[in-house]
Every structure is written in C-alpha cells, then in structure tokens.
Structure 1
C-alpha cells in the first residue's frame, strides 16, 4: 500500500471523526473510487499522435494529432520519446444546496447560522427569470495513485487527496458585483446578445464536443459568465452541471488550475479554458455511466439522476461530479 493512499485514508478518517465530534452528518456516503468512477471514461488513449485505442459510447473527442515524437526539456535534462494522451479521473466537484455539506466525504461542517449561504431557486415569474444558486467544492482526486495503478507511469501528477477549494469562504461566488471586479470581461458576454452566439456551441456539444473558441458558452448549460454560483435555469441537474463546469473555468481564470492536455512537455496556465479537454460524470445523487462533454443536454444523460426524495443515502440537489481531463505527456528516455 502506497504512502499516498495511507495519508489520504488518514485525512478521510480525520474528517469523519470530526463529524462525530459535533458536526452534523450530511445525508450521503463517501465516494468509492472503485464503484463510483466511470472507468470507460479514460478512453480513448492515443499513442504517437496517431494510434487510438478505445472509444466511449461513440463519442470521439477532437484530437490535435500531435507529432508522434516529442522532445522536452525539464530541470536541465532532455527527454526524447513518444507522445501519449489519455483521459484521467483527477478531480471531483461538489455542487450542493446545503452549505458546508460534503457528499463525497459523507459529512457536513456545522453552519454558523441555520440556512446561511444555502442554495436557492428563484421564481420563474421573477423579472430576471428563474435562477438557481448552489455552493461548490473542488477536490484533488488522484484515482490512479489512490489505487496504486500505473505507479511507474511518468505522466501522473504526485498529489494527495485534498479539498482544494470551497466557495462558502469565497465572497465572489455569492456576489455578482464582486465577481465582476475580478472578471470585468463578463460585461461583454453575460448578456442576451452574446448568448445568441452560443447556439452553435449547444448543437456541437449535443452532437459531439463543444466549440473551444466560444469560451463564454457552456452549450445547453448556459453561459460561463458570471463566475458565480447563480445560474439561469429551472432544472436542477442541468444547473448543477453548469456550475461544476463554471467552477473549472473560474479556477483556471484565477490561475489555480492548469491545462494538462495541450502540451506534452508539461501543464499550462489556462485563463481561457479549452472545454473539449474536460468531461464530467455524475456520481451523486445517482451514479451515471456517461462521460459528459461540457454543455451536453441532460435529456441525453440526466434522466432519473436527481430523484425528488434523493437516492438511498444521498440527498436531492447535492451533486457530486467526477472530472476527467485529458492528459498529454512525453513518454521516453532521459539521457
């Protein structure tokens, strides 16, 4: 058993113990990487920029046809090898109605005030239309390392399981005006005129994969802006998928997330995201078996995924998404 797995397990035990020492228990259960992760989502795997193995439900991601041979400098050394790309389950995102609820851990922090920062849904008859607000949590989930798979593969990051971001402590997530100060370009895109240009992105996402140049669009899920927890819509499943994707964009915009699928020589900052590099899989309230491209309508994958009374130990409107990202690297020899 690897030291990384032991450290992660101890962290999880600590959280659960804290929950039993005065925290309210959130109605959910901890994530099980073996049964809750869609393992078909690691495909397709591409070798040498040409040969592709595996396919997921007929959805072939756009490939940039990298050169078969790569040469990378790192730390003063040169690596010469073959370009390899695959999809890695590396992160998970919770979008929750109950503030401080952590479905993936099966626990909940005590709220300083009952109902404080909880999710909400506005009336569709309101002047600005129906809106849904949810909190979000972003986790580092190194599934391969936790299960001690591909231990000698050089393309995997060496990270521990960790809660990396929670929006309850981020005032910009619940305030559009504060978010505008950090992302002033929202004025150009968060309006009905700009959203009309998202129709082609919605069509592309439902037929295959979204259009990366239209970074302000999330297909059938709405707009990428504003980078807050409020999103237009009436359907909870669609809105939460949109908020999980928006969380990815927000972290990249704040230089807290990296693009691992464009350069075989290393990750890049991604202030403007490439949507086609990411896919989501719903794991709570009801596990799904689909690798969902950003913006694909929930008519194709969301039926029965959010029962009104929840599913088993999982409460309704508290969602967990496993994020699978493209990982491209140079596998070879370092003299």
Structure 2
C-alpha cells in the first residue's frame, strides 16, 4: 500500500510539472523601488570586477578568477601627442560602463524605481516601436527581446577616483538607449541597413567557423577576427531582436548583439590596445575580447566572463529558474580600458 501511495504521489507531481510547463507565462513586469535598489547595490558591490589592474606592466589582482587579456605589451612607458606631447605609464583595467536589460515585456524597466516599469504608461501601441502595452500582451509578443542600455559607472557611484583620467566619471547613471524606440531592432530586414555584410556570413561555412570561436571563448577570450560569431551564443547577425528565447544564454546573446549594434552606430567606441592608450577611437566592428559581462539580477553571478562562453561551463548553473528570470534579466557590462596615465 505504501508503495502504491508513493507511485501515485510521483505521478501527480510529474503531471503537475508538465501542466506548469505547458501554461504560457503571465506577462508580469517585476520592476519597482525594490528591484532598483537591489540592482544598484549589486553594481556597487561587484565593482571588484575592475581587477586585475596593470600598472607599468605589473599586474595587481586581489580577486581570484577574474580574467584578463594582455592588450598592449611592450615597454611600461607610453607617449601621447594630444592635446600636447606627454609621456606616461601604461595602465590597464576593466572599466564598468553599463547595465543592460534584455526584457521580453516591452517597456519593463527593472533598473528604474518605477512600479511596473514603463508598461501601461506609454501612450501608444505600435509594434514598430516596441510592441503592445502590458494590458494587451499576447503570447506571441513575448517572443522577442527589447533591450535597455543604462550608462552605469560603479566607481563614480561610489564617489571614488573621480580625478583619475583613465576612468569615465561624468553622469554615473543614465538611461541611454531603448530599443522600443528603434525600428531597426524590430525587423531583420531593417537591421540589414546597419549590417549589409550579414549576407556574406549566412552560409554553412561561415557559421561552422563559429565552432572555433565557441571553443576559444570556453577556455579564454573569443576570436576577434570571427566578428560575426558570438561563441556559443549564436551569430551577431542580424542586429535585431530575433534570437531563441529558451534560456538565460539567449539573454546573454542579446547583450552581445546589442553591444555589437551600438558599436556599428558609433555609440560605443574602442578603448583597448595600443590605439586606446591616448583615448577612445571609432570601432564600427566590435572586438569581442574588449568586453566581459555577467548577470546581476534576478540571480547574480559574481564574476564577469567573456562574450560567447557557454552557460554550462561556468556561469549558467541555477540561472534558468522558471518565473524568476524567464521574462527579464539584468546584466553588467565591463570594458577593457588601456590608458597612458601621466
């Protein structure tokens, strides 16, 4: 009898799990002062991801497991000619620059202290600029990501190193970009305006090369010459919202694709290597190794990792929790910064 009861209990549990998975997720935007405070506190609390810091060829690292690339090499002394000739010491660090929200509910903004985000507060309802309001959500409208890009500078939020020329310090927090207002993000065809070269990589040979990028990003940093790949996360093209939405790795892919798009639009510039020692420079084709990212909400992974690294290898454990993060995630973006300090 006891064995029969256990079999019935297990059968009922399996039936419940199947029923839960078959019911579409309700479109609920988790946003408000509590999520905003959590996210801001996490941005500040994980500012140690700026390490390792290299000063004149000497690497300082107080947190284990934080990866780095040797992007300048050579002598510790550097020279710049603008705005006047000057000598300096090479400094390299990982600079926190942004928070990115890939959300499946248009206008949902977990990082802003607005209850319910901006959903229901937008006076228009057009798919070309981001989809429907939350009161008119349908299952099909949860099949693409919208992305919000916030300028977020951890050290400036802490009020530290404000006179350090190698760190950006103005406007420590600012909402800078919303794809709901960008028609090019909504359509693969319109996205080709920014990336007409995508047609060159829409073939099996080019996509097979991404397997190499996936392997290198698993053990280290991705291969910048394979710029159309984003490691294990898929293809950088098209620069639009069309990506599978089945797990948190897809959310990471949206972040990488959005960074690529912002470089093409010259919103983001290059900041590393010898070319970056004397200032940022235009980089219309993004170097993937310049960036590291990590999820900060609703489930934190405390250390940054390169673009393209498979979720199974290191960072994806326990991140695909139903209800918690099936609709919205928040990511922190760190950028390699090389600087000639004087």
**TM-score, normalized by the shorter chain, greater than 0.5:** yes
Please name the residue that 1:137 is paired with: 148
Please name the residue that 1:205 is paired with: 217
Distance apart, 1:72 and its partner CA: 1.2
Please name the residue that 1:224 is paired with: 236
**What does residue range 182-201 of structure 1 map to in structure 2 within 5 Å?**
182-201=194-213
Please report the TM-score for the alignment, with normalisation by the length of structure 2. Answer: 0.79
Give the match's secondary structure for 1:87: strand
Give the match's secondary structure for 1:185: helix
Following TM superposition, the consecutive aligned residue runs of length 4 or more in structure 1 with deviations greater than 6 angstroms are 118-122
Give the match's secondary structure for 2:54: strand
2:334 to 315, 320, 324: 324
Please name the residue that 1:248 is paired with: 259
Distance apart, 1:83 and its partner CA: 0.5
**What does residue range 261-276 of structure 1 map to in structure 2 within 5 Å?**
261-262=272-273, 263-276=276-289
Give the match's secondary structure for 1:230: coil
**What does residue range 281-320 of structure 1 map to in structure 2 within 5 Å?**
281-299=294-312, 300-310=314-324, 316-320=326-330
CA 168–234 in structure 1, closer or farther in 2 if over 3 Å, else same:
closer
How many residue pairs get aligned? The number is 294
Distance apart, 1:256 and its partner CA: 1.2
CA distance in structure 2 between the partners assigned to 1:323 and 1:292 by the alignment? 10
1:236 to 240, 244, 247: 247
CA distance in structure 2 between the partners assigned to 1:41 and 1:331 by the alignment? 21
Consecutive unaligned residues of structure 2, counting only runs of 5 or more, are: 1-27
Are the counterparts in 2 of residues 89 and 322 from structure 1 also a CA contact under 8 Å?
A: yes
CA distance in structure 2 between the partners assigned to 1:322 and 1:235 by the alignment? 21
Higher strand share goes to which structure? 1
2:36 to 21, 30, 34: 30
CA distance in structure 2 between the partners assigned to 1:95 and 1:180 by the alignment? 21
Higher helix share goes to which structure? 2
Instruction: Give the CA RMSD over aligned residues.
Output: 2.5
CA 210–120 in structure 1, closer or farther in 2 if over 3 Å, else same:
farther
Consecutive unaligned residues of structure 1, counting only runs of 5 or more, are: 1-23, 123-130
- Computing the radius of gyration from Cα coordinates, the structure with the larger value is 2
Cα deviation, 1:12-54, whole Å, max 9, x if unaligned, reads xxxxxxxxxxxx9743511544434523311111111x21111
Please name the residue that 1:169 is paired with: 181
CA 318–275 in structure 1, closer or farther in 2 if over 3 Å, else same:
same
